[in-house]
Amino acid sequence: MTDRVDSADQASDSEAGSELSARFAVPEMDCPSCAQKVDKSLQRVDGVVETALQPTTGTATVTYDPERTAEADVVAVIEGAGYEVTGSGNGFEGGADSGMSIAPPSEIWTSSRAIKTWVGAGFLVFGLLFEFVLTEQNVDIATILSSPLGLSDGLFLVAIAVSGSPVVRSGYYSARNLSLDIDLLMGTAIIAATGIGYFVEAATLAVLFSIAELLEDYAMDRARNSLRELMELSPDEATVRRDGEEVTVPTEDVAVGETVVVRPGEKIPLDGTVLDGESAVDESPITGESVPVDKSDGAEVYAGSLTEEGYLEVEVTSKAGDSTLSRIIEMVQVAQENKTDQEQFVDRFSGYYTPLIVGLAILTAAVPPLALGWPWETWFVRGLTLLVIACPCAFVISTPVSVVSGITSAAKNGVLIKGGNHLEAMGAVDVVALDKTGTLTKGELTVTRIVPLGDHTETEVLRYGAGLERRSEHPIAEAILARTDKAGLTDLPTPSEFESLTGKGIRAEIDGETYYAGKPALFEELGFDLSRTRGVTDGGAIPDGVPRRNSSGREVFDTNVLTELQDEGQTVVLVGTETELIGAVAVADEVRPTSQRAVERLHECGVDHVVMLTGDNEGTARAIAEQVGVDEYRAGLLPDEKVAAIEELQAVHGDVAMVGDGINDAPALVTADVGIAMGAAGTDTALETADIALMGDDVGKLPYLYRLSRTANDVVRQNIWTSLGVKALLAVGVPLGYVSVALAVVVGDMGMSLGVTGNAMRLSRLKPSDDR
């Protein structure tokens, strides 16, 4: 019936070397009670070691001992619980080689269940027509146990047999598995109503409940679509250059080190490094950023990214199952297994709710007729109605469908949330703590300002500075040389006798004269009195209060500028000889353009306190803090001191989310209630250690994450309490005669299940662009 699962992640050796894992597509298993029924059946099988059932994806992963049971036996048990297995291993989306699997789309409206429902509905409509409208034509057609059977009754019985048979069949499997679920309740109600001659109620219940099930299947399939879209981002095939020829092969057959060819408009099939070619690449499937990134020789690229105009040859650096996109997909799958506190509450509550309402239904049907002599017919129907209300489906699915919607929506926008519990926790944080370097700033030094002295020009300052730094490997040198390249300067002087002055700067010979580049302290050692350094025009000193400009009108460097730059948290590199200062180059870790707006939006969204934690010095920390607008900053912190700061913030303010690079900040990320890693697309450590990962280097995604989490928590609460409130209102109305069987099915079961699913789908409409 199904294919054997042979891949590494589907069939794996246990410690004893004998256990296998198989993954099956079970699309009809779409609610927690369905999964519970399958789980009970599997637990009774000798040889089944472990089960992982995912109703949100319609999949079941079973670990078993092949010496005691076979895969075919596992399939038989699942189908014996009433759920068809439609695929296994490579037989469905995700399959054996993918980190994630999901049941294929169902032909819901043309399935055998749907056809039976429509046929039954037709007979029900004609039955109601003869029962209440064409009463004169409602002739007797048979007699059963001395009771006449009218034409309408015959039509109702056909409707019950056609539409009710799948319900009764599922109820039988539930009873066999001792599972008190909706199928058992509805099947019992249909049989009981039919048995005592309440054909109208039985037929109405069978048809309406079947329609409700179809609608719920459709809603769940829509929810699964978001997961399917995530999986479809990764190409199935790659064009590989082998022995001088280009061949197209499945991506799982491409080895690390091989070269794949990607033409304009094609998706990059595997993670790798560009060997040749140039192209703008849309990396939004990974980072969530819509602006294409230019890629050329040596650049990293990710599977699922889309080339726009250029041609690329890429050396593969990871296999299909190990790509960044595959890890994201797999983590989204695993995230569904981490239940939120609200989901755990729902599971516990539903265990009491259903037996309680079933008990009330029995008492409602039996006590008034027996104790008070009231009519059996009326109170039996009311008891039957309470049985319908006893179904907790809408209540039970209210949380998982919201969590899946939120997590998959976030993944498609470049935010990886590794569990529903983390989604819930993020929406409840009171404080967001931000690392400075690489989070609020770019983490790369940049030349921010060039200040010439005297009659020297910015170009001269940059030329001599870059000439001196050509042989240096310091990050400041890289920043100055990058600025030189950007300015298009190519005629740089060639230094000789290069010497690094540790902790101070550098020295070299240029055209027979010694030049220096370094800290202000270096030039003070050379004899410069920086406190009296002034620019000069026409041979005279510039008096206080007069703008400091040279003869060309350019800004003249003085100690006021030096102090200003240092107060802004910038590093100042002076350039000159032993007798003359040429100018200064200011270098800083530039603040991300989105940082200030992100902090502002966090406040607007409801975060009480935003704090910056950094190991940098006080001056730099103060300047960055003032620029981005955080409420508080703490400077000079070592990793263990960041942990202490997080603990202090938790004690004073409440729940804390920590945002860092996922490596240096790992202890603080673990200590915080929610750990968020920045720029995790190419960082295995960040993907593994953080609770939430921002795949791109965009701190601007934080407000979106917080807003999504808050909205998800609101949606879950709305779903839980609305479904409970409606059920309670209907339950109160039943004994009073205000609620019919049809109303209980349409509103209490079908309506609420569709309502909570539709409400959860709202999360997919939230976009990061709303917070820009």
Residues serving a catalytic function are: 435
Name the helix (H) or strand (E) containing 754: helix 752-761
Asked if 227 contacts 297 with a C-beta cutoff of 8 angstroms, the reply is: no
How is residue 771 written in tokens?
Answer: 């917070």
Write the CA distances from 384 to 125, 164, 197, 203, 240, integer angstroms: 21, 15, 13, 13, 65
Q: Residue 365: which region, alpha, beta or left (left: phi > 0; alpha: psi -120 to 50)?
A: alpha
Q: Residue 414: which region, alpha, beta or left (left: phi > 0; alpha: psi -120 to 50)?
A: left
Bridge partners (DSSP) listed for residue 692: 417, 676
Bridge partners (DSSP) listed for residue 315: 259, 273
Three-class SS of 383-427:
HHHHHHHCCCHHHHHHHHHHHHHHHHHHHHCCEEECCHHHHHHHC
Nearest CA to 332 among 238, 257, 403?
Answer: 403
Bridge partners (DSSP) listed for residue 249: 238
Distance, in Å, from the CA atom of 662 to the CA atom of 464, rounded to the nearest integer, reads: 38
Q: Residue 681: which region, alpha, beta or left (left: phi > 0; alpha: psi -120 to 50)?
A: alpha
Nearest CA to 469 among 502, 503, 505?
Answer: 505
Phi, psi at 25, each rounded to 5°: -90, 120
How is residue 444 written in tokens?
Answer: 């790369």
Name the helix (H) or strand (E) containing 487: helix 475-487
Q: Which amino acid is at 368?
A: P
Q: Buried b vs exposed e over 334-364: b needs ≥16 C-beta within 10 Å?
A: ebbebbbebbeebeeebeebbeebbebbeeb
Distance, in Å, from the CA atom of 445 to the CA atom of 756, rounded to the nearest integer, reads: 50
Distance, in Å, from the CA atom of 582 to the CA atom of 452, rounded to the nearest integer, reads: 6
